Amino acid sequence: MTDQLTDIALRIRKHIVALAADSPGAHVGGSMSATEILTSLYFGGVLNVDPANPGWKERDYLIFSKGHSSAALYAALAEKGFFPVEELKTYKQPGSRLPGHPSKTVPGVELSTGSLGHGLPVAVGLAMGMKHDGDPNRVFVVLGDGECQEGSIWEAAMAAAHYGLDNLVAIVDRNGFQEDGPTEDVMAIEPFADKWRAFGWAVIGVDGHDVNSVTEALRHIDHWRAAGRPAVLIARTSKGHGLSFTSNTHTWHYGKFTAEQRAQAMEELELEAVAAS
């Protein structure tokens, strides 16, 4: 399972590289940092979804609130079979159905995101309705750490705990950077885990690039929390993870790869693949 997940994560990274080279540009940093999170959700036996039937009533919902990282989301959805992998080539091209920020018109995308701070409140509403109906579906929401500077996130965090939404799971891609620099320099969010705890959430920390750890944590999320509490997984990641020149910097928050950078990136990912096998 682990090897298989690592392999999928590598494939997603290659898609991100291709998108950042062949399109007008992509949010490389946040896409690379969210890769293992998405891999675990879609391929680690976490999300109950049916790519052949995206609107299946009994599915789990994934709200991808950090919509800037659409390259990673589209790559994961394509690999999962929601739409053909070849379609990724149309990313941000005229006539494409894959805009820079995820649109609900894309199969598998539950909510159009990109304007930050929207995902958690909407997830609260979804979870509230399902809990009311006694539905077994769960709602997962992937948040960026910079995004957690939005007040609406904490309004929603407060409401989720108040209404005991234990069918709601947030995963924060805690890569430590936002567009202007390290989150702690731009607008400090630490002590981050304490904030969630203070808002009444069960908090789990995990190495966000250890795909096995993320998967384990998400698969056993119910063991981590008391009934009646929402849970948040804080995935420690590095921005731009996986490539020597994009890692741990905000420089590649967004950008377009040159042909040389594309070649170098693919080479590094090939070496990583060999090392992992």
Q: Which residues contact 64 (CB under 8 A, 6 or more apart)?
A: 73, 102, 109, 110, 111, 113, 119, 141, 142
CA 231 – CA 191 distance, rounded (Å): 17
Q: Which of 76, 77, 88, 156 touches another protein (CB under 8 A)?
A: 156
Q: Which of 155, 207, 210, 268 touches another protein (CB under 8 A)?
A: 155
Shortest separation between residue 132's beta carbon and another protein, angstroms = 6
Q: Which is nearer to another protein, 49 or 204 (CB)?
A: 49
List binders of another protein among 58-117 (CB under 8 A).
Answer: 104, 110-112, 115, 117
Shortest separation between residue 139's beta carbon and another protein, angstroms = 8
List binders of another protein among 217-256 (CB under 8 A).
Answer: none
Q: Which is nearer to another protein, 117 or 146 (CB)?
A: 117
Residue 188, CA atoms < 13 Å, CB-side half-sphere: 4
By rule CB under 8 A, what count of residues binds another protein?
A: 27
CA 51 – CA 104 distance, rounded (Å): 14
The residue among 83, 146, 127 whose CA lies nearest residue 109 is 83
Shortest separation between residue 106's beta carbon and another protein, angstroms = 14
In 8-88, the DSSP E strands lie at 61-64
- As given in the structure block, the two tokens for residue 227 are 């009934």
Q: Which is nearer to another protein, 39 or 167 (CB)?
A: 167
Q: Which is nearer to another protein, 112 or 213 (CB)?
A: 112
Binding mask 115-154 for another protein (x = CB under 8 A): x-xx-xxxxxxxxxxx-x------------------xx--
In 189-248, the DSSP E strands lie at 202-207, 231-236
DSSP codes joined into one string, 14-33: HHHHHHHHHSS-B-HHHHHH
- As given in the structure block, the two tokens for residue 265 are 């990136």
Q: Which is nearer to another protein, 114 or 176 (CB)?
A: 114
Piece of the chain touching another protein by CB under 8 A; list 26-34, 156-164, 213-221, 268-276 = 156-164
Instruction: Phi first, then psi: give them for residue 113, nearest 5 degrees.
Output: -130, 170
CA 252 – CA 240 distance, rounded (Å): 7
Shortest separation between residue 118's beta carbon and another protein, angstroms = 6
Question: Any contact of residue 158 with another protein (CB under 8 A)?
Answer: yes
Binding site for another protein (CB under 8 A): 104, 110-112, 115, 117-118, 120-130, 132, 151-152, 155-156, 158-159, 162-163
